[in-house]
Structure 1
Amino acid sequence: MPESTPGGPALRLTARAAIAAVADQDSFHELAHPAREFTEEGRQDGPLVWQGYAESRARAEERTGERESVVCGAATIGGTRAMVVSFEFGFLGGSLGERTGDRLEAAHRHARDHRLPVVSLIATGGSRMQEGMRALVQLQRVARQSELTGAAGLARIAVLRDPTTGGGWATLGAGADLILALPGSQVGFAGSRVRPPDTDPAAYTAQAQLAAGAIDEVVRPDELREALALRLRLLASPDGDARPRTEPAEPPAALGRTDLPATGWEAVSRARSPERPHADAYLDAYCTDRAPLRGDRCGGTDPGMLCGFGLREGRTVAYAAQCGTATTPAGYRTAARLVRLAGRLGIPVLTLVDTPGAANGAEAERAGAGAAIADLFAAVATSPVPVTSLVIGEGGSGGALALAAPDNLWATPDSYFSVIAPELATAILKRGPEETRATAEQLRLRPQDLVELGVARGIVPGQHP
């Protein structure tokens, strides 16, 4: 794909040029599109008999060479077969009409029949005014087809081109499992001509949507093919069939010290040490390739919660890893999103527990901390795929427990897990600060204590050299 203009909108490609930019050479085969013609008397101008609509369509067809605003077909991307849906913005602004709905429904049906993930290359201004409500209700139709595809255990990946607005963003775009965007692309439910005049246009960009947790990654045009190929390799079942019964992910080996702490306070001190390996180091050692999943899809991100999918000895594993900071509501919601998506796709989950606890300031409360933690507890508890958890540092109260598997929890030698931090327990019990170390001992929070108490299954050994 051509490079975007620095600081400006992404360059616009035709639907077929966008397909060619991501698909393996000569691999795209267009679907035979269902035919819907306005054949009733007086309906050449569509269901509303909108004067001049037929002429507008004719000009769009002549200008673009397309019969409708979307092109659909099967292709391979990096060797993985997928259904590709590509919007033609030059055809009436890539708008959705009845015949667009016909094509999108046919594409999703074909994807389910042939067990293909769906890649949507979106560039649209929304629903087609010349078809009125008959066009608008296509959003319900498209949303239903997309959800049926997702419920069938097939991945849905969206690529946001310029522009992605209106119903196309609110269905195939924002409703996808993973969302990539080209830099500089206009992204938002409200198009540029219908926003309040004093609105900041920077809020309707791919970069702004990334910061707001609405998309997973902004990808340079020249890196898009590789980015899609990696995600399809991670999320698509190798043979196209639904994945068989999933085996649990193995817990990572310990990367830090391998000797056990002698006292509770030593366990706490070692877990809090800046020298102790953190989530990034564990994920780098555990996975050969990784693709991130970012954002809670309702306005928030948490850089202290790393989520995504990675390859572990040729097998895909989903991961949600705390980075040693207090976890925010957005972090819990992102992790819950990851766990549920992995469950639908049949991919085992690995969680790395490392937090002093949930963020507990006023901002976290206003953002729904309790509900977000409860949602993650529910996602882990009801996951249809096995969840493996490893405590790699601090395990601070319920804010850490929400990410922990109830029956498959492991610990590293330089970690601890406690009902509450020793300092807070000391304060609540009205003890003096000098009694903190003794309180830590009473809490029995060392990794070997967790095993003896039946909370952890075991302590993982160190990594082989």
Structure 2
Amino acid sequence: MSAREAIALVTSDFTELPYPHRSTRPDGPLAWAGYDGARAAATERTGESESVICGTATVAGRPAVLVSFEFRYLGGSLGQRTGDRLEAAYAAAREHRIPLVSLVATGGSRMQEGMVALRQLQRVAAQSALNRAAGLPQLAVVRDPTTGGGWATLGAGADVVLTLPGAQVGFAGSRVRPPDADPAAYSAEGQFAAGAVDAVVAPERLSACLGHWLRLLTTPAAGAPEPPRALGDAVPPATGWDAVHRARSPERPRAEAYLDAYFDSREPISGDRCGGTDDGMLCGVGLRAGRAIAYAAQTGTPTRPAGYRTAARLIRLADRLSLPVLTLIDTPGAAHDAAAERAGAGAAIADVFTAVAAARVPLTSLVVGEGGSGGALALAAPANTWATPDSYFSVIAPEAAASILKRPPEEVPALAGELRLRPQDLVDLGVVRGIVPT
């Protein structure tokens, strides 16, 4: 797929930017023999004068700056003139206050320019940082192939990373990998499974998906989100043990049901960008009454470190883009098996506490099921947490409390009452603001 074919996948309205002019020495900064001839041949082959095309566009009705790589031009490699064009594209996004979308297909830095080429990655990172500071979204569509520094900057460094099915994606290109490397690890699907990519999107869906994301990231709702209405039992529990049983019931509505009822449409983000995913933590951005709200929702399972890191990533992204945040709390507690400990459970939970505490955007939280200890509290808005009638929130599960206090199992139901974990108890204690109606 050429650079212009990639552009045509997402828009029919593209206006190319004027490019900076740079006079260069014969055969480039290293005087690499034959470099000028290689560039001339690449231009004749592709019709392009560099490995990247930049311009303004509308994608599904939403404005953006588009950057599209031409892999047939010296492997889509980044050289000094490529860096000039990318810098101009980031600057145009800041000037027009619009997102930047990169359609990436690159083999990395251009060897014929040596370290001068490699340093372009620093230029890209600096420009990306300026756009982040300006509160402007950055999205990447990873095409085939995307490797090297292009993946490590424009690709993996974007706020939302989409990829086309079957694309080769990875830091190491096919010619420099270890001989025993698993090819699946360097695929779009493999990177998605490893938490480095948010979604694998079919070409025919790409324009609509990108347009939806552009709308979600640029139309924030105002003020704190209203808490969802309760979907389960409307009557608060009579006893603490009753509250625990109802919250643990397999028939109780879960996060998916609450998100579907609350949002008109939504898009997920996936993965912690550290090699992990957790199906027990649903994160993304949704539209409600035409305005965007970010969400992080536990699904009733013990939350794993990757889930907490994904939630922290979501909250920080929302904070930077002025998106209010809704969290749904439902976990018996953080996962505490050996694998979770090795994956940094404590640090991951601390990261969410910090992200919530530092957020400048309003947060709303709703306990929809089990609220087990610090693994649940990490997602709670300190002054704006609510509860459903079929939920509980406790310093620890009653069974674990009995074990710590050396009480016999038959005392667990009574201990649940002593913990004052019912929704109405939480209101009396000032832990939650109220019990939401059905």
In the superposition, the TM-score normalised over structure 1's length comes to 0.93
- Tell me which residue corresponds to 1:137: 119
Residue of 384, 387, 395 corresponding to 1:408: 384
Residue of 19, 27, 41 corresponding to 1:59: 41
SS at match of 1:300: coil
- Alpha-carbon deviations, 1:339-389, whole Å to 9, x = none? 000000000000000000000000000000000000000000010101100
- Alpha-carbon deviations, 1:14-71, whole Å to 9, x = none? 1111101101x2x110000001121xxxx21000000000000000001101010000
Looking at structure 1, the residues matched to 340 and 299 of structure 2 have their Cα atoms a distance apart, in angstroms, of: 18
2:347 maps to 1:361: no
2:14 maps to 1:28: yes
- Tell me which residue corresponds to 2:162: 180
- Tell me which residue corresponds to 1:10: none
Looking at structure 1, the residues matched to 196 and 389 of structure 2 have their Cα atoms a distance apart, in angstroms, of: 37
* Correspondence 1:65-104 to 2 at 5 A: 65-104=47-86
SS at match of 1:424: helix
Residue of 40, 44, 47 corresponding to 2:26: 44
RMSD: 0.8
- Alpha-carbon deviations, 1:90-112, whole Å to 9, x = none? 10000000000000000000100
Looking at structure 2, the residues matched to 61 and 355 of structure 1 have their Cα atoms a distance apart, in angstroms, of: 57
Looking at structure 1, the residues matched to 406 and 80 of structure 2 have their Cα atoms a distance apart, in angstroms, of: 69
- Alpha-carbon deviations, 1:186-216, whole Å to 9, x = none? 0000000011111111110000000000010
2:322 maps to 1:346: yes
- Tell me which residue corresponds to 2:202: 220
SS at match of 2:105: strand
Gapped regions of structure 2 (runs ≥ 5): none
1:427 Cα deviation from its structure 2 partner: 1.0
- Tell me which residue corresponds to 1:8: none
- Tell me which residue corresponds to 1:17: 5
SS at match of 2:50: coil
- Alpha-carbon deviations, 1:405-429, whole Å to 9, x = none? 1100000000000000000101111
Instruction: Kindly provide the amino acid, as one letter, of the partner of residue 34 in structure 1.
Output: P
* Correspondence 1:156-305 to 2 at 5 A: 156-237=138-219, 246-305=222-281
Identity fraction in percent: 70
Looking at structure 1, the residues matched to 173 and 407 of structure 2 have their Cα atoms a distance apart, in angstroms, of: 60
Looking at structure 2, the residues matched to 329 and 404 of structure 1 have their Cα atoms a distance apart, in angstroms, of: 17
Instruction: Kindly provide the amino acid, as one letter, of the partner of residue 215 in structure 1.
Output: V
**How many residue pairs align between the two structures?**
438
SS at match of 2:276: coil
Instruction: Kindly provide the amino acid, as one letter, of the partner of residue 299 in structure 1.
Output: G
2:428 maps to 1:452: yes
Instruction: Kindly provide the amino acid, as one letter, of the partner of residue 324 in structure 2.
Output: P
Instruction: Kindly provide the amino acid, as one letter, of the partner of residue 173 in structure 2.
Output: G
SS at match of 1:37: coil
2:124 maps to 1:148: no
Looking at structure 1, the residues matched to 282 and 5 of structure 2 have their Cα atoms a distance apart, in angstroms, of: 34
Q: Which moved more, 1:397-406 or 1:193-202?
A: 193-202
Looking at structure 1, the residues matched to 132 and 54 of structure 2 have their Cα atoms a distance apart, in angstroms, of: 18
SS at match of 1:153: coil
SS at match of 1:318: strand
In the superposition, the TM-score normalised over structure 2's length comes to 0.99
Looking at structure 2, the residues matched to 362 and 46 of structure 1 have their Cα atoms a distance apart, in angstroms, of: 54
Looking at structure 2, the residues matched to 216 and 150 of structure 1 have their Cα atoms a distance apart, in angstroms, of: 19
